[in-house]
Amino acid sequence: MRERYVYVIGEDDGPQKIGLSWYPPNRRAFLARVTAKRLKLHHYAAVSAVDVYAVERLAHWRLRDLRLEGEWFNITPSAAAEEVEQAVLAFAAGDRAPYAEPKEVERATVIAPASMMARVEEWRRKQTKIPSKSEAIRMLVDQALANEARRGK
């Protein structure tokens, strides 16, 4: 099975994006175009295609206190690279991030009014461990379904 990569991309003195890609140089080029910034590919670690999402999630969880938004973190490139490597090692040793993805995942696109997404963002920012938007939506849906089940609907 092909490898994937968990990467660190950012400016030398700005926030760093920790994400995953099949080919990090292309991802850097795309992000540089859409952000109009001088982004550099600072680091990438090879991970099996089966584990890459879980390793990326673990790196994000380990850096949760430095999360700015989405996959962007207030961290230096060298510290981010070290955290990615530590996440790879920790995953190999059996460490997992909370709320790990189930083995089978179904992707869904959510189309929602901006006002609803603003409420999701407000809720997300109030959490002790700030989840990604996708994780926040999953958590809120899960809570709503659990509440409905308790009410017997």
Listed in order, strand segments (DSSP E) in the chain are: 3-10, 16-21, 40-48, 67-69, 72-73
pLDDT band at 63 (very low <50, low <70, confident <90, very high): very high
Q: Tens digits of per-residue pLDDT, 24-53?
A: 999 999 999 999 999 999 999 999 998 999
The pLDDT score that the predictor gives to residue 95 is: 86
Q: Are residues 9 and 81 in the same domain?
A: yes
| CA 150 – CA 153 distance, rounded (Å) | 8
Same domain, 122 and 50: no
Rounded to 5°, angle at Cα 35 from 44 and 17: 30
Q: How many domains does the chain have?
A: 2
Q: Do 121 and 87 reside in the same domain of the chain?
A: no
What local confidence, expressed as pLDDT, does residue 148 receive?
87
One domain, residues 83 and 123: no
Residue in the structure block whose two tokens are 């030398």:
12
pLDDT at 1 (0 to 100)? 56
pLDDT, tens only, 97-143: 876 455 666 778 889 999 999 999 899 888 877 777 888 898 899 88
Per-residue pLDDT, 76? 96
Report the pLDDT value the prediction gives residue 147, as an integer from 0 to 100.
87
Domain of 88 in residue numbering reads as 3-92
The answer to whether residues 14 and 37 touch, using CB atoms and an 8 Å cutoff, is yes
Give the Cα separation of 153 and 151 in Å (integer).
6
